[in-house]
Protein backbone atom coordinates (compact mmCIF):
# COMPACT_ATOMS: atom_id res chain seq x y z
CA UNK A 1 0.00 0.00 0.00
CA UNK A 2 1.21 3.50 -0.75
CA UNK A 3 0.49 7.13 0.01
CA UNK A 4 -2.56 8.46 1.75
CA UNK A 5 -4.41 5.14 1.80
CA UNK A 6 -1.55 3.33 3.54
CA UNK A 7 -1.13 6.03 6.15
CA UNK A 8 -4.86 6.41 6.83
CA UNK A 9 -5.46 2.67 7.16
CA UNK A 10 -2.40 2.12 9.34
CA UNK A 11 -3.15 5.01 11.71
CA UNK A 12 -6.81 4.03 12.00
CA UNK A 13 -5.96 0.37 12.72
CA UNK A 14 -3.38 1.18 15.39
CA UNK A 15 -5.65 3.72 17.10
CA UNK A 16 -8.76 1.51 17.07
CA UNK A 17 -6.94 -1.64 18.22
CA UNK A 18 -5.10 0.27 20.93
CA UNK A 19 -8.33 1.90 22.13
CA UNK A 20 -10.06 -1.49 22.32
CA UNK A 21 -7.24 -2.97 24.40
CA UNK A 22 -7.22 0.02 26.76
CA UNK A 23 -11.00 -0.15 27.12
CA UNK A 24 -10.86 -3.87 27.85
CA UNK A 25 -8.25 -3.66 30.59
CA UNK A 26 -9.74 -0.56 32.22
CA UNK A 27 -13.49 -1.10 31.96
CA UNK A 28 -14.44 -3.10 35.07
CA UNK A 29 -18.15 -3.95 34.60
CA UNK A 30 -17.72 -7.71 34.27
CA UNK A 31 -18.95 -9.66 32.43
CA UNK A 32 -20.73 -7.04 30.34
CA UNK A 33 -17.43 -5.41 29.43
CA UNK A 34 -16.71 -8.28 27.05
CA UNK A 35 -19.91 -7.56 25.12
CA UNK A 36 -19.23 -3.81 25.15
CA UNK A 37 -15.69 -4.20 23.78
CA UNK A 38 -16.93 -6.71 21.19
CA UNK A 39 -19.65 -4.30 20.10
CA UNK A 40 -17.16 -1.49 19.55
CA UNK A 41 -14.80 -3.90 17.78
CA UNK A 42 -17.56 -4.70 15.28
CA UNK A 43 -18.12 -0.97 14.76
CA UNK A 44 -14.38 -0.43 14.17
CA UNK A 45 -14.31 -3.37 11.75
CA UNK A 46 -17.20 -1.99 9.70
CA UNK A 47 -15.64 1.49 9.58
CA UNK A 48 -12.41 -0.08 8.32
CA UNK A 49 -14.33 -1.64 5.45
CA UNK A 50 -16.03 1.67 4.67
CA UNK A 51 -12.61 3.34 4.52
CA UNK A 52 -11.50 0.86 1.88
CA UNK A 53 -14.68 1.34 -0.12
CA UNK A 54 -14.13 5.11 -0.04
CA UNK A 55 -10.36 5.20 -0.72
CA UNK A 56 -9.49 2.04 -2.64
CA UNK A 57 -8.73 2.35 -6.35
CA UNK A 58 -9.80 -1.18 -7.23
CA UNK A 59 -6.27 -2.52 -7.69
CA UNK A 60 -4.74 -2.65 -4.24
CA UNK A 61 -5.07 -5.72 -2.04
CA UNK A 62 -7.20 -5.16 1.07
CA UNK A 63 -5.29 -6.47 4.05
CA UNK A 64 -7.58 -7.85 6.78
CA UNK A 65 -7.65 -5.85 10.01
CA UNK A 66 -6.61 -8.11 12.94
CA UNK A 67 -9.90 -7.66 14.82
CA UNK A 68 -11.00 -11.13 13.77
CA UNK A 69 -8.76 -12.51 16.52
CA UNK A 70 -10.50 -10.53 19.26
CA UNK A 71 -14.08 -11.78 18.75
CA UNK A 72 -13.70 -15.44 19.84
CA UNK A 73 -11.61 -14.42 22.87
CA UNK A 74 -14.21 -11.89 24.02
CA UNK A 75 -17.06 -14.35 23.51
CA UNK A 76 -15.22 -17.04 25.45
CA UNK A 77 -14.51 -14.66 28.34
CA UNK A 78 -18.14 -13.53 28.34
CA UNK A 79 -19.36 -17.14 28.44
CA UNK A 80 -16.81 -18.09 31.11
CA UNK A 81 -17.83 -15.15 33.31
CA UNK A 82 -21.47 -16.16 32.90
CA UNK A 83 -21.15 -19.90 33.54
CA UNK A 84 -18.15 -19.80 35.91
CA UNK A 85 -18.81 -16.53 37.70
CA UNK A 86 -16.86 -17.65 40.79
CA UNK A 87 -13.64 -17.91 38.72
CA UNK A 88 -12.06 -14.52 37.98
CA UNK A 89 -9.48 -14.34 35.20
CA UNK A 90 -6.17 -12.81 36.29
CA UNK A 91 -4.62 -9.90 34.35
CA UNK A 92 -1.78 -12.20 33.28
CA UNK A 93 -4.21 -14.74 31.82
CA UNK A 94 -6.11 -12.00 30.00
CA UNK A 95 -2.84 -10.68 28.58
CA UNK A 96 -1.92 -14.16 27.30
CA UNK A 97 -5.33 -14.59 25.69
CA UNK A 98 -4.89 -11.31 23.84
CA UNK A 99 -1.27 -11.98 22.87
CA UNK A 100 -2.07 -13.37 19.35
CA UNK A 101 -4.20 -10.30 18.63
CA UNK A 102 -1.44 -7.96 19.82
CA UNK A 103 1.19 -9.77 17.72
CA UNK A 104 -0.96 -9.52 14.60
CA UNK A 105 -1.44 -5.79 15.15
CA UNK A 106 2.37 -5.48 14.97
CA UNK A 107 2.50 -7.71 11.86
CA UNK A 108 -0.25 -5.63 10.25
CA UNK A 109 1.74 -2.45 10.90
CA UNK A 110 4.94 -3.93 9.42
CA UNK A 111 3.15 -5.34 6.35
CA UNK A 112 1.36 -2.04 5.73
CA UNK A 113 4.67 -0.19 5.45
CA UNK A 114 6.13 -2.60 2.87
CA UNK A 115 5.82 -2.26 -0.92
CA UNK A 116 2.96 -4.22 -2.49
CA UNK A 117 5.36 -6.31 -4.56
CA UNK A 118 7.30 -7.45 -1.51
CA UNK A 119 4.71 -10.14 -0.66
CA UNK A 120 4.34 -8.96 2.94
CA UNK A 121 0.63 -8.32 2.51
CA UNK A 122 -0.11 -11.84 1.27
CA UNK A 123 2.16 -13.37 3.89
CA UNK A 124 0.44 -11.47 6.69
CA UNK A 125 -3.01 -12.42 5.34
CA UNK A 126 -2.07 -16.10 5.22
CA UNK A 127 -0.79 -16.00 8.80
CA UNK A 128 -3.82 -14.02 9.97
CA UNK A 129 -6.48 -16.26 8.41
CA UNK A 130 -4.72 -19.37 9.70
CA UNK A 131 -4.66 -17.93 13.23
CA UNK A 132 -8.33 -16.87 12.94
CA UNK A 133 -9.41 -20.32 11.83
CA UNK A 134 -7.64 -21.97 14.76
CA UNK A 135 -8.91 -19.37 17.24
CA UNK A 136 -12.55 -19.48 16.08
CA UNK A 137 -12.76 -23.27 16.21
CA UNK A 138 -10.92 -23.61 19.53
CA UNK A 139 -12.92 -21.02 21.45
CA UNK A 140 -16.24 -22.03 19.89
CA UNK A 141 -15.70 -25.62 21.06
CA UNK A 142 -14.73 -24.42 24.55
CA UNK A 143 -17.89 -22.29 24.71
CA UNK A 144 -20.05 -25.23 23.64
CA UNK A 145 -18.55 -27.24 26.49
CA UNK A 146 -19.35 -24.45 28.93
CA UNK A 147 -23.02 -24.03 28.08
CA UNK A 148 -23.65 -27.74 27.52
CA UNK A 149 -22.83 -28.32 31.21
CA UNK A 150 -25.01 -25.50 32.49
CA UNK A 151 -28.19 -26.28 34.42
CA UNK A 152 -31.41 -24.33 34.73
CA UNK A 153 -33.65 -22.58 32.21
CA UNK A 154 -32.15 -20.65 29.31
CA UNK A 155 -31.82 -16.91 29.89
CA UNK A 156 -31.29 -14.03 27.49
CA UNK A 157 -27.55 -14.30 28.11
CA UNK A 158 -27.56 -18.05 27.36
CA UNK A 159 -29.38 -17.44 24.10
CA UNK A 160 -26.98 -14.67 23.05
CA UNK A 161 -23.94 -16.85 23.79
CA UNK A 162 -25.32 -19.73 21.72
CA UNK A 163 -26.27 -17.47 18.82
CA UNK A 164 -22.82 -15.86 18.75
CA UNK A 165 -21.18 -19.29 18.99
CA UNK A 166 -23.05 -20.37 15.86
CA UNK A 167 -21.72 -17.24 14.16
CA UNK A 168 -18.20 -18.27 15.22
CA UNK A 169 -18.57 -21.61 13.47
CA UNK A 170 -19.92 -19.83 10.39
CA UNK A 171 -17.00 -17.39 10.41
CA UNK A 172 -14.61 -20.33 10.75
CA UNK A 173 -15.99 -21.78 7.51
CA UNK A 174 -15.63 -18.44 5.70
CA UNK A 175 -12.10 -18.05 7.07
CA UNK A 176 -11.17 -21.46 5.70
CA UNK A 177 -12.51 -20.46 2.28
CA UNK A 178 -10.47 -17.23 2.28
CA UNK A 179 -7.34 -19.08 3.41
CA UNK A 180 -7.88 -21.60 0.61
CA UNK A 181 -8.24 -18.81 -1.96
CA UNK A 182 -4.95 -17.23 -0.84
CA UNK A 183 -3.04 -20.52 -0.92
CA UNK A 184 -4.51 -21.85 -4.18
CA UNK A 185 -5.21 -18.56 -5.91
CA UNK A 186 -8.71 -19.42 -7.10
CA UNK A 187 -12.20 -19.57 -5.61
CA UNK A 188 -14.24 -22.74 -5.87
CA UNK A 189 -17.49 -21.53 -4.29
CA UNK A 190 -18.63 -19.06 -6.94
CA UNK A 191 -18.80 -15.91 -4.76
CA UNK A 192 -16.59 -13.64 -2.69
CA UNK A 193 -16.27 -14.89 0.88
CA UNK A 194 -15.01 -11.63 2.41
CA UNK A 195 -18.31 -9.68 2.04
CA UNK A 196 -20.03 -12.55 3.87
CA UNK A 197 -17.80 -11.85 6.86
CA UNK A 198 -19.32 -8.39 7.16
CA UNK A 199 -22.77 -9.90 6.81
CA UNK A 200 -22.01 -12.12 9.82
CA UNK A 201 -20.65 -9.12 11.72
CA UNK A 202 -23.88 -7.24 11.00
CA UNK A 203 -25.84 -10.17 12.44
CA UNK A 204 -23.68 -10.13 15.58
CA UNK A 205 -24.18 -6.36 15.84
CA UNK A 206 -27.97 -6.82 15.69
CA UNK A 207 -27.96 -9.66 18.24
CA UNK A 208 -26.02 -7.60 20.78
CA UNK A 209 -28.37 -4.63 20.29
CA UNK A 210 -31.37 -6.92 20.77
CA UNK A 211 -29.80 -8.35 23.94
CA UNK A 212 -29.23 -4.89 25.39
CA UNK A 213 -32.77 -3.88 24.48
CA UNK A 214 -34.19 -6.98 26.17
CA UNK A 215 -32.10 -6.43 29.31
CA UNK A 216 -33.09 -2.77 29.41
CA UNK A 217 -36.77 -3.61 28.95
CA UNK A 218 -36.58 -6.18 31.75
CA UNK A 219 -35.02 -3.64 34.09
CA UNK A 220 -37.70 -1.09 33.14
CA UNK A 221 -40.46 -3.59 33.98
CA UNK A 222 -39.00 -4.26 37.43
CA UNK A 223 -38.48 -0.54 38.05
CA UNK A 224 -42.09 0.09 37.08
CA UNK A 225 -43.21 -2.55 39.57
CA UNK A 226 -41.07 -0.98 42.26
CA UNK A 227 -42.64 2.42 41.55
CA UNK A 228 -46.08 0.84 41.69
CA UNK A 229 -45.20 -0.71 45.04
CA UNK A 230 -44.18 2.70 46.37
CA UNK A 231 -47.46 4.14 45.15
CA UNK A 232 -49.42 1.37 46.84
CA UNK A 233 -47.48 1.94 50.07
CA UNK A 234 -48.43 5.62 50.03
CA UNK A 235 -52.08 4.68 49.51
CA UNK A 236 -51.81 2.35 52.50
CA UNK A 237 -51.14 5.34 54.72
CA UNK A 238 -54.63 6.64 54.00
CA UNK A 239 -57.38 5.52 56.39
CA UNK A 240 -59.44 2.63 54.97
CA UNK A 241 -62.27 0.59 56.48
CA UNK A 242 -60.93 -2.48 58.24
CA UNK A 243 -61.96 -5.86 56.87
CA UNK A 244 -63.89 -8.26 59.12
CA UNK A 245 -61.45 -10.57 60.90
CA UNK A 246 -62.93 -13.74 59.37
CA UNK A 247 -62.75 -12.28 55.85
CA UNK A 248 -59.18 -11.08 56.38
CA UNK A 249 -58.08 -14.53 57.59
CA UNK A 250 -59.80 -16.15 54.60
CA UNK A 251 -57.90 -13.88 52.21
CA UNK A 252 -54.62 -14.59 54.01
CA UNK A 253 -55.20 -18.34 53.64
CA UNK A 254 -56.01 -17.93 49.94
CA UNK A 255 -52.91 -15.80 49.34
CA UNK A 256 -50.67 -18.31 51.10
CA UNK A 257 -52.13 -21.16 49.09
CA UNK A 258 -52.42 -19.58 45.64
CA UNK A 259 -49.47 -17.21 45.67
CA UNK A 260 -46.86 -18.88 47.86
CA UNK A 261 -47.50 -22.63 47.94
CA UNK A 262 -48.24 -22.82 44.21
CA UNK A 263 -45.21 -20.53 43.56
CA UNK A 264 -47.20 -18.05 41.51
CA UNK A 265 -44.81 -15.39 42.79
CA UNK A 266 -42.13 -16.83 40.46
CA UNK A 267 -44.16 -15.84 37.42
CA UNK A 268 -42.42 -12.73 36.00
CA UNK A 269 -45.80 -11.36 34.87
CA UNK A 270 -47.56 -11.78 38.20
CA UNK A 271 -49.62 -8.77 39.22
CA UNK A 272 -52.28 -7.78 41.71
CA UNK A 273 -54.90 -7.95 38.97
CA UNK A 274 -53.75 -11.46 38.04
CA UNK A 275 -54.02 -12.59 41.66
CA UNK A 276 -57.44 -10.98 41.97
CA UNK A 277 -58.71 -12.82 38.89
CA UNK A 278 -57.08 -16.05 40.00
CA UNK A 279 -58.65 -15.97 43.48
CA UNK A 280 -61.89 -14.08 42.73
CA UNK A 281 -61.02 -11.65 45.54
CA UNK A 282 -61.49 -7.93 44.83
CA UNK A 283 -58.29 -6.04 44.22
CA UNK A 284 -58.86 -3.50 46.99
CA UNK A 285 -59.34 -6.27 49.58
CA UNK A 286 -56.07 -7.90 48.54
CA UNK A 287 -54.31 -4.56 48.81
CA UNK A 288 -55.63 -4.09 52.34
CA UNK A 289 -54.44 -7.53 53.41
CA UNK A 290 -50.93 -6.99 52.01
CA UNK A 291 -50.66 -3.57 53.61
CA UNK A 292 -52.17 -4.41 57.01
CA UNK A 293 -51.19 -8.04 57.59
CA UNK A 294 -47.89 -8.36 55.70
CA UNK A 295 -46.90 -4.69 56.16
CA UNK A 296 -45.80 -4.60 52.51
CA UNK A 297 -47.18 -3.44 49.19
CA UNK A 298 -47.89 -6.25 46.72
CA UNK A 299 -44.69 -5.94 44.65
CA UNK A 300 -42.57 -5.56 47.78
CA UNK A 301 -44.12 -8.78 49.07
CA UNK A 302 -43.39 -10.51 45.74
CA UNK A 303 -39.77 -9.30 45.72
CA UNK A 304 -39.24 -10.53 49.28
CA UNK A 305 -40.74 -13.93 48.43
CA UNK A 306 -38.48 -14.23 45.40
CA UNK A 307 -35.36 -13.34 47.39
CA UNK A 308 -36.28 -15.88 50.08
CA UNK A 309 -36.65 -18.46 47.31
CA UNK A 310 -33.26 -17.48 45.86
CA UNK A 311 -31.60 -17.94 49.26
CA UNK A 312 -32.88 -21.51 49.38
CA UNK A 313 -31.74 -22.18 45.81
CA UNK A 314 -28.25 -20.82 46.48
CA UNK A 315 -27.89 -23.07 49.53
CA UNK A 316 -29.07 -26.03 47.44
CA UNK A 317 -27.19 -25.43 44.17
CA UNK A 318 -24.06 -23.54 45.25
CA UNK A 319 -21.87 -22.78 42.24
CA UNK A 320 -23.65 -25.23 39.92
CA UNK A 321 -26.20 -22.61 38.87
CA UNK A 322 -25.26 -19.23 37.43
CA UNK A 323 -26.66 -16.14 39.11
CA UNK A 324 -28.05 -15.02 35.77
CA UNK A 325 -30.09 -18.21 35.49
CA UNK A 326 -31.17 -17.90 39.12
CA UNK A 327 -32.45 -14.35 38.60
CA UNK A 328 -34.76 -15.49 35.80
CA UNK A 329 -35.84 -18.59 37.72
CA UNK A 330 -36.89 -16.34 40.61
CA UNK A 331 -39.09 -14.27 38.30
CA UNK A 332 -36.97 -11.17 37.81
CA UNK A 333 -36.76 -9.70 34.33
CA UNK A 334 -33.07 -8.85 34.57
CA UNK A 335 -30.02 -9.72 36.63
CA UNK A 336 -29.62 -6.03 37.51
CA UNK A 337 -33.00 -5.94 39.23
CA UNK A 338 -32.27 -9.22 41.02
CA UNK A 339 -28.98 -7.85 42.37
CA UNK A 340 -30.63 -4.64 43.54
CA UNK A 341 -33.48 -6.37 45.38
CA UNK A 342 -31.12 -9.03 46.80
CA UNK A 343 -28.71 -6.50 48.29
CA UNK A 344 -31.56 -4.39 49.68
CA UNK A 345 -33.00 -7.49 51.36
CA UNK A 346 -29.83 -9.20 52.63
CA UNK A 347 -27.18 -6.46 52.70
CA UNK A 348 -24.99 -8.54 50.36
CA UNK A 349 -24.84 -9.11 46.63
CA UNK A 350 -25.76 -12.61 45.39
CA UNK A 351 -22.09 -13.36 44.69
CA UNK A 352 -21.07 -12.29 48.19
CA UNK A 353 -23.85 -14.34 49.75
CA UNK A 354 -22.93 -17.43 47.74
CA UNK A 355 -19.27 -17.05 48.73
CA UNK A 356 -20.35 -16.64 52.37
CA UNK A 357 -22.45 -19.84 52.17
CA UNK A 358 -19.48 -21.68 50.68
CA UNK A 359 -17.21 -20.55 53.51
CA UNK A 360 -19.76 -21.57 56.13
CA UNK A 361 -20.11 -24.99 54.51
CA UNK A 362 -16.35 -25.48 54.63
CA UNK A 363 -16.27 -24.53 58.30
CA UNK A 364 -19.07 -26.95 59.15
CA UNK A 365 -17.37 -29.77 57.29
- The string of pLDDT tens digits covering residues 63-89 is 888 988 999 999 998 888 777 765 666
pLDDT at 215: 64
Q: What is the mean pLDDT of residues 103-129?
A: 84
The larger pLDDT score, comparing residue 176 to residue 318, is at 176
Specify the domain boundaries for CATH 1.10.10.60 within the chain.
Answer: 220-364
Terminal C-alpha separation, the chain: 67
C-alpha 251: how far from its chain's center? 41
Q: Tens digit of pLDDT for each residue in 212-224?
A: 777 655 555 555 5
User: Comparing 42-46, 136-140, 182-186, which segment has the lowest mean pLDDT?
Assistant: 182-186
Give whole-number Cα distances, 108 to 73, 136, 179, 246, in Å: 19, 19, 17, 80
Residue (of 236, 216, 234, 255) closest to 333 by Cα position: 216
Question: Residue 264, SS3?
Answer: helix
Given a cut of 80, whether residue 54 has pLDDT beyond it is no
Kindly report, residue by residue over 259-276, the tens digit of the pLDDT: 888 888 888 888 888 888
Using alpha carbons only, how large is the chain's radius of gyration in Å? Answer: 27
Query: Which has more confidence, 237 or 182?
Result: 182
**Per-residue model confidence (pLDDT) at position 238:** 43
Fold annotation for 220-364: Arc Repressor Mutant, subunit A (1.10.10)
Rounded Cα–Cα distance for residues 164 and 140 (Å): 9
- Which residues touch 85 (CB under 8 Å, ≥6 apart)? 31, 322, 323, 351
DSSP state, 348?
S
Count the neighbouring beta carbons within 10 Å of the beta carbon of residue 232. 18
**Distance from C-alpha of 108 to C-alpha of 120, rounded to nearest angstrom:** 9
What per-residue confidence (pLDDT) applies to 287? 85
Q: What CA dihedral angle connects 137, 140, 145 and 151, to 10 degrees?
A: -170
Amino acid sequence: MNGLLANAVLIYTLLSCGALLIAFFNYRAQPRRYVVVGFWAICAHIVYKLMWLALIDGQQYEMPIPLGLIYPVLLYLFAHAHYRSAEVASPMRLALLFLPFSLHVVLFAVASMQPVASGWAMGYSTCYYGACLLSLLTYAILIVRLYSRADGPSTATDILIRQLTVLCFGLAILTYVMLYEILVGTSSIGFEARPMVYFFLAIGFALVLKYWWTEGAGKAVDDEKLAAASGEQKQADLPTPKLPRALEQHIIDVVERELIQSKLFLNPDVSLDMLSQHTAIPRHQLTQVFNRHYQKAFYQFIAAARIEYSLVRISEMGDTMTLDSLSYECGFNSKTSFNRYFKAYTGMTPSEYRAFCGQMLCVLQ
